[in-house]
Amino acid sequence: MAFRIIGNVLALYFAGYALLNIAFLVFFLASFIKKKGPRGQRSRVPGVQGSRGPGLEPSNPRTLSRTLEPFLQPSAPFFCLPGITILVPAYNEAETIGESLKALLGLDYPEYRLVVVNDGSSDRTLDVLKNEFGLEPTEVKYEDVFGTAPVRGLWRSREHANLLVVDKPNSGKADSLNVGLELASERLVVTIDADTILDPMSLRRLAHKFTNERVAAAGGLLTVANGARIEHGKLVSAELPRRALVMYQLVEYLISYTVGRVGLSRLNSLLVLSGAFSMFDRELLMKAGGFLTRTNNHPYLRRTIGDKPTTTVCEDMEVIIRLHRFIKEKRLNRKIVFDPSPIAWTEVPQRLHDLARQRNRWHRGLLESLVIHRRMVFEPRYGWTGLFAMPYYLVFEALSPLVKLLGIGFVLGLAIVGLVDLFWLLLLAAAALMASALITALVTVSVENRFAHMSRVNIEAMRYHDFRAWLRLLAYSMLSSFVYDPLRFGFQLWGIWDWVRGSKDWYKFRRTSYGREDV
């Protein structure tokens, strides 16, 4: 009797999870297949109309007009794009900060500023900034509305008038973002990591989302930078990574994250935008309390969270949930969206212990954010966010490792009593392999077909340049369910354990310089 009840519960859980992922995949494919590429271009994947391969620019004038089409609409001409302040918190980023800032200073956008906040780095981060960008001391008046750490120094670049560098004691990423937010003056703010490389057109694409006045925050496609050649702040080439661990993460970023976020965005239920590349309406973010820290005494934070100081190790998720909450409570007609067109390149862990610590922190941050805003779960006043998004992330994300652990125990129990059929287990494993390959094929082919006439960089993000490399990508997606997913499952269980213990460790992994991949 107990086995039957547990089995039925697990069957319902995994069936529901599968149906939701199918729905997300349908949303994703619908968003990518609605436009076709120009005729006469050959794909790198046999049988698919697509690009002629990396490094070839479109020569057809009609193709060029389509390339510019998203930015020439009457609602958002170039001269109407809002100003942007890019916030770059930096802690011990001496290896990558130089190349990253060179890329940021070369973005194709009419009006933007860079605010780099050195969070008390113990390496040569500040020295690198001073030496490479010709910094000189300056003074800027601003109002501290978030209770941030005191600023020790401000510098402007002699060579780049739009670059401002801030130095302060180490107080965490969220506090650094709040300092940058207080110093910003443009309508939009972008938060990125110090190692992030943005495609030159990424700001235009994402800012376009805000021209209809209904978007509160937006995120763009994030992909793996390990092994890519970056020269003078620009992407030169991007072959498939050599390390297996990096390959599994590439598949994860391209398939799991992108498909899921497109689907949740269509339902206005997106609770996660990567801190490595997100754009916010500055005024709305200020009114909602900025980023959560123990010293942030903003009135909205105190009213919603309480007077007891609290914090989270994943500020990028908590702030998105709080924005949803603020929008619903103030009855604002605003939404939070994900656009798979913009590209940001970021470094991922190359060593197993670094990946374990990162995923531990991510899962703790998820649990912390859900607990902080637990009153939103199943609360009708918060609409889709309360009735669908919060329960989805609680049941199918936060509690997923525990349910999987229960499932493993259930199968082992059936095996002990002799109720497991080896043939059906092998058939199930084969079905999982085929499903992984099919999903990866659909996603990669759809991306190539969609962006063949618009953005070569979106095709470069998939990192394959020929049919053999594409098959290698499919192979890793098939193996992921049996090699990478169990590892991630163990790291998430560790995260749950650390969350129960109340751990607040950040577990920052060591960065390497761009263009180098450890093997």
Q: Give the residue extent of every domain in the chain.
A: 2-72+196-501
Two tokens, residue 514:
């761009």
Q: What is residue 515's predicted lDDT score, i.e. its pLDDT? A: 52
In the three-class reduction of DSSP (H, G, I as helix; E, B as strand; rest coil), residue 49 is classed as: strand
User: What are the C-alpha distances in Å from 424 to residues 261, 345, 420, 421, 428?
Assistant: 33, 41, 8, 6, 6
Two tokens, residue 243:
């390390």
Two tokens, residue 177:
């973002």
- d(C-alpha 441, C-alpha 150), whole Å: 51
Mean pLDDT across the chain: 84
Q: What is residue 43's predicted lDDT score, i.e. its pLDDT? A: 42
Q: Are 182 and 148 in contact (CB under 8 A)?
A: yes
Two tokens, residue 265:
């965005």
Over residues 110-126, the pLDDT tens digits come to: 999 999 999 999 999 99
Q: What is residue 512's predicted lDDT score, i.e. its pLDDT? A: 62
- d(C-alpha 515, C-alpha 230), whole Å: 6
Of 474 and 323, more confident? 323
Q: Are 44 and 51 in contact (CB under 8 A)?
A: yes
Position of tokens 């089995």?
A: 7
Of 6 and 514, more confident? 6
What pTM did the predictor assign? 0.87
Q: Where in 138-295 does DSSP place strands (E)?
A: 153-157, 163-168, 188-192, 197-198, 215-224, 229-231, 234-237, 277-281
pLDDT category at 103 given cuts 50, 70, 90 is confident
Beta bridge partners of 135: 157
- d(C-alpha 93, C-alpha 509), whole Å: 11
Q: What is residue 99's predicted lDDT score, i.e. its pLDDT? A: 83
pLDDT category at 67 given cuts 50, 70, 90 is very low
Q: What is residue 380's predicted lDDT score, i.e. its pLDDT? A: 95
Q: What is residue 47's predicted lDDT score, i.e. its pLDDT? A: 37
- d(C-alpha 338, C-alpha 261), whole Å: 6
- d(C-alpha 89, C-alpha 182), whole Å: 13
Q: What is residue 513's predicted lDDT score, i.e. its pLDDT? A: 55
Q: What is residue 68's predicted lDDT score, i.e. its pLDDT? A: 38
Amino acid identity, residue 480? S
- d(C-alpha 183, C-alpha 312), whole Å: 23
Computed on alpha carbons and rounded to an integer, the radius of gyration of the chain in Å comes to 23
pLDDT category at 133 given cuts 50, 70, 90 is very high
pLDDT surpasses 60 at 46: no
pLDDT category at 463 given cuts 50, 70, 90 is low
pLDDT surpasses 60 at 71: no
Q: What are phi and psi of 184, to 5 degrees?
A: -75, 150
* Among 9-18, 37-46, 312-321, 368-377, the least confident range: 37-46
pLDDT category at 63 given cuts 50, 70, 90 is very low
pLDDT surpasses 60 at 52: no
* Among 265-279, 288-302, 346-360, 431-445, the least confident range: 431-445
- d(C-alpha 464, C-alpha 452), whole Å: 14
Over residues 157-175, the pLDDT tens digits come to: 999 999 999 999 999 999 9
Amino acid identity, residue 263? G
- d(C-alpha 402, C-alpha 500), whole Å: 13
Q: What is the mean pLDDT of residues 280-306?
A: 94
Say what percent of the chain tops pLDDT 70: 84
**Which has the closest alpha carbon to 221: 37, 460, 22?**
460
